Chain A
Amino acid sequence: MKSMDCNELVELVTAYLDGALDADTRARFDMHLLDCDGCANYLQQFRETVRTVGRIRDDELDPAFRKRLLDAFKDFR
């Protein structure tokens, strides 16, 4: 099995997290992680990034726009 380099692994992280790698590539990914702290950390950073984006909240809706939507509801009922 051909080994995986770090610069190859970093491009496959999203596919890895989606469970979308073929079995051979996934095995090379997992084997690489076993003895590369840098890539294990990179994967951790990526997971933290996804979690951080998941914490972004939108601003409150502009009150004027909200009122327009609620008025539309009244008009159409």
Chain B
Amino acid sequence: MVLKFLRKWWRIFLMAVLLVAAIQFFVRPPGLPLDQFAGGVVTSLFRPVYESVDFVRQRVSSVWSGYIELVDVSRENAELRKEVAELREKVAESRDAVLENRRLEELLRFSKTQGKQMVGARVVGHDVSPWFQGIFIDSGTGEGLETGMAVVTPAGAVGRIHRTYPDLSEVLLLTDSRFAADVIVERTRVRAIAEGMGGNLCRLKYVSQTQDVVQGDRILFSGFDGSMPKGTLLGTVVSVDRPRDGLFLNIRVVSEVNILSVEEVLVVPARPAIPFRGGKP
């Protein structure tokens, strides 16, 4: 009877088993030996994806700057077209390099001012799903990166390393709902827990209605939970609501870093003080 049932509906049965396993994988803490094995497979699979992505990006960028901008210039300067085109072409060729150089110099300066050795990395991809917010960077366990390490830019924090592979890491952005960290308000030193809420926003939790937090306040990581470097900028308060029935303020913070436009980041290679569990410290 049971065998007959299973023979007829084995696909449904298998689907249920897979879904239960998927849910188990969803809620378990990362770091099992299976993850290390999967890491090798993942890196070899993802490398061609981001290499082809990088190749197309470079080509489109050179076409954009080398052709389309020249068309604009020629329209505006018909008499000097040839001369301007030559100059523009040279500028266009070097513009990307100059901008990249400037960004890297800024990262280096920031790294020195922090007094810590940091690992620089390039952003090579973005999470494609609607549910999570993550980016991929081109440094991994080979450079000594570990899960839980903080990822920053001179403008502010970006997130934390979520998964590492030999030469690739996945960064959980601070706007992802699984991100949480201890923060303080710069002006009044009020403490709170920052949690990602999608888009470019975070919310501050557990701030009492009596506390002094206003729009425009800058929010810094406190470093008390050991998950992010103390004093790193999270963002600026954009709204503070005082609900009539609630105990706490509803505070929204916009991230200081425009995460979609970040191209290079720095990883702070300090082990998190508290073991990293699935995004939340």
Does B associate with A?
no
